[in-house]
Chains A and B, each alone.
Chain A
Amino acid sequence: MMKNWRFLAGASIVVAVMAVAAVAPILAPYEPNKSSVFMLETPSATHWLGTDELGRDILSRLIYGARTSLVIGIGAAGVALLIGAPIGLAGGYFRGRIDLLIVPVIDLFVAMPALILALIITVMVGPSHKNLILVLGFVMWPTMARLVRGQALVIREATYIEAAVAAGGTSAWIIRRHVWPNIMRLVAAQIAIAVSLATITAASLSFLGLGIPPPTADWGGMVRSGFDYLALNPAMSLAPGAATTITVLGFYLGGSAVE
């Protein structure tokens, strides 16, 4: 009951944010990167959320920011899946030496603070859309690998796997036909949670000044620049902060509803 409600709430939020991102050019009243002489205006009828320090319309940047956030969040979760799932499957299904090699690496990565790791790698490779997606995916793959490995360990003991082996199925075929389909539901949930984590981490990197470079509209960066003008126009940092929170909440609720 509660879980069902959670999933619906999460899915509605995610769909809404995606819709905003899709029709951003129609929704946004102004060009998101166009500066003007009307700098640091407080909210008014012409600029609902006011303007920033370069005279850009905050509402328009907020709307376009949804695109940045979704691309990075979903992209990073995708990278984590592409690295983590095969490694987790290999460790869980074949066990033995491969597993002995994989487990300590996963444990070490999971124990490290993700944001610190992301900061170090980002400063080395330089922040750009593509790099951020790769870095965040790289930081998050061990969680994905651990989940897949754990599930694969359980499933390989099932009688239907024994039957498939007895029938002469190759390992690749068994993994594809029997192991993976049984893990997919949990993996889907984990992807949603990974998107929420990547969204928080990407916004935090931007907030710390190491995320998406300007002038791209990006919520974390907007929070950072608005923070200096908190007394003047609180919406300048609180609105993009709220947008980040809602997006994270949506993916998290959707993902955590499946267990």
Chain B
Amino acid sequence: MLGFIIRRLLLAVPTVFVVTAVLFFSVTTLLGSPATMMLGENATPEAVADLNARQGFDRPVHVQYVAWLAHALKGDFGRSFATQQPVASALLPAIPVTLELAFWSILIAGTLAVVLSSVPTKRWAIEPAIISLNILGVTVPNFMLGITLIFLFAVTLGWLPSTGWLPWSDGAVSHMKHLIMPVATLSAYYFGAFSMVFRAEQRDVYRKLYIQVARSKGLSEWKVAFKHALPNAVLPVVTFMGLAMGQLTGGAVVTETVFSMPGVGRLFVASIAAHDFPVMLAIAMMVVVAVVVMNVLVDFIYTLINPQIRLE
């Protein structure tokens, strides 16, 4: 088991190298000289050459990449072109904001998706209503939902703060108040996606013999749904929850922008707009690593949930 995980993680290493190398080469070739970016368009050629020499921008790209990688592996992602501050000092405070937003959104979306889809409601009008909600979840763009919520609950009703973020130290209540709308916005999409995955699996499970047995024992539809069908159909949802968590380390780009949350996503958008290559690359590398690690972790969680699966 442990051997499997280590092997998978080792296999992932080349992936990370290839992706960051491709990014590094394309960005340095396509984005132009970072020296002009830092000194402005009117910089003298001497100043540009001097900065290039000092920062090593005049070296061949592959030499720069190896140097960057050597530092990155030690946790040093260089300095931001825009602020001249170390990348880590901008990135580190943003990570918990994004992780908390992602954690609540995925947890709530996953729980709601599994529970609501499990309710045995074939006779009532509830099922079409839930399916419609799922479809809306995956089709309403995040910015639309976020702005609509701000308009309703902040601008019109004044119940919730429209944007911003407060740390836990400012009190749990105001911290949570700032999180309600972003979490609602982000979880809507995942609620739709998780529900669809769950229902597809559920359909197969309901055809299984043990469901017939449970029914013929005289169990209520509720017991059949929650004690027999749910545990057997939940596996793919767990996979998707894990993968979503990996992807969201890059930040919920749109949601964080709508609600002005100081997370990784907003930092990423800002770095893109400013052509701030070191910050961009650090976040991109973080996403690649997180996605790859979550893929391995999900396989591992599989074995915990379903002992029939053996990893070799």
**B141's closest neighbor in chain A, by CB?**
A200
CB distance from B258 to the nearest CB of A (A): 8
Q: Check B141–A244 contact: CB distance below 8 A.
A: yes
Q: Check A120–B254 contact: CB distance below 8 A.
A: no
A238 within 8 A of B: yes
Q: Check A203–B143 contact: CB distance below 8 A.
A: yes
Binary per-residue interface labels of chain B (15-51) against chain A in the complex, 1 for a CB within 8 Å, 0 otherwise: 1000100010011001100000000000000000000
CB distance from A231 to the nearest CB of B (A): 5
Binary per-residue interface labels of chain B (144-159) against chain A in the complex, 1 for a CB within 8 Å, 0 otherwise: 1001101100010000
CB distance from B277 to the nearest CB of A (A): 10
Q: Which of A120, A220, A223 has the most CB of B within 10 A?
A: A120
Cα separation A116 to B147 with both chains bound (whole Å): 21
**A119's closest neighbor in chain B, by CB?**
B272
CB contact under 8 A between A227 and B147, given known A111-B243, A111-B295, A124-B27: yes
Tell me which of B23, B135, B139, B246 contacts A120 (CB under 8 A): B23
A209 within 8 A of B: yes
A253 within 8 A of B: yes
Cα separation A108 to B11 with both chains bound (whole Å): 13
Cα separation A209 to B271 with both chains bound (whole Å): 12
A166 within 8 A of B: no
CB distance from B22 to the nearest CB of A (A): 10
Taking residues whose C-beta sits less than 8 angstroms from the other chain, chain A's interface range is 35 or more
Q: Check B135–A252 contact: CB distance below 8 A.
A: yes
Q: Which of B136, B147, B268 has the most CB of A within 10 A?
A: B147
Which chain A residues numbered 229 to 259 have a C-beta less than 8 Å away from chain B?
230-231, 234, 237-238, 241-242, 244-245, 248-249, 252-253, 256
Q: Check A253–B254 contact: CB distance below 8 A.
A: no
Q: Check B147–A238 contact: CB distance below 8 A.
A: yes
Tell me which of B135, B150, B250 contacts A116 (CB under 8 A): B250
B257 within 8 A of A: yes
**A209's closest neighbor in chain B, by CB?**
B273
Residues of A within 8 A of B113 (CB): none
Q: Tell me the interface secondary structure of chain B in the complex.
A: helix
Binary per-residue interface labels of chain A (111-124) against chain B in the complex, 1 for a CB within 8 Å, 0 otherwise: 11101100110011
Q: Check A2–B247 contact: CB distance below 8 A.
A: no
B128 within 8 A of A: yes
Q: Check B272–A210 contact: CB distance below 8 A.
A: yes
CB distance from A234 to the nearest CB of B (A): 5
Cα separation A120 to B253 with both chains bound (whole Å): 12
Cα separation A248 to B151 with both chains bound (whole Å): 22
Cα separation A104 to B141 with both chains bound (whole Å): 30
Tell me which of A115, A124, A237 contacts B147 (CB under 8 A): A237
Q: Tell me the interface secondary structure of chain A in the complex.
A: helix
B176 within 8 A of A: no
Q: Check B19–A245 contact: CB distance below 8 A.
A: no
B90 within 8 A of A: no
Question: Total number of A-B contacts with CB less than 8 angstroms?
Answer: 109
B69 within 8 A of A: no
Cα separation A223 to B291 with both chains bound (whole Å): 31
Q: Check B140–A245 contact: CB distance below 8 A.
A: yes
Tell me which of B144, B150, B254, B257 contacts A244 (CB under 8 A): B144
Residues of A within 8 A of B23 (CB): 120
Cα separation A242 to B148 with both chains bound (whole Å): 10
Tell me which of B142, B250, B251, B272 contacts A204 (CB under 8 A): B142
Cα separation A244 to B246 with both chains bound (whole Å): 28
CB distance from B292 to the nearest CB of A (A): 8
**A116's closest neighbor in chain B, by CB?**
B250
Residues of A within 8 A of B143 (CB): 203-204, 207, 220, 223-224, 241
Q: List 21 A-B contacts (CB under 8 A).
A: A2-B131, A111-B292, A112-B291, A113-B247, A113-B287, A113-B291, A115-B253, A115-B254, A116-B250, A116-B268, A119-B268, A120-B280, A203-B143, A208-B254, A209-B269, A210-B272, A234-B155, A237-B147, A241-B144, A244-B141, A253-B135
Additional A-B contact list (16), CB under 8 Å, known A113-B247, A245-B140? A2-B131, A111-B291, A116-B251, A116-B287, A119-B268, A120-B284, A196-B139, A204-B141, A204-B253, A204-B254, A207-B254, A209-B269, A223-B147, A241-B141, A248-B141, A249-B136
- Chain B: residues with CB nearer than 8 A to chain A? 15, 19, 23, 26-27, 30-31, 128, 131, 135-136, 138-144, 147-148, 150-151, 155, 243, 246-248, 250-251, 253-254, 257-258, 268-269, 272-273, 275, 280, 284, 287-288, 291-292, 295
- Chain A: residues with CB nearer than 8 A to chain B? 2, 104, 108, 111-113, 115-116, 119-120, 123-125, 196, 200, 203-204, 207-210, 220, 223-224, 227, 230-231, 234, 237-238, 241-242, 244-245, 248-249, 252-253, 256
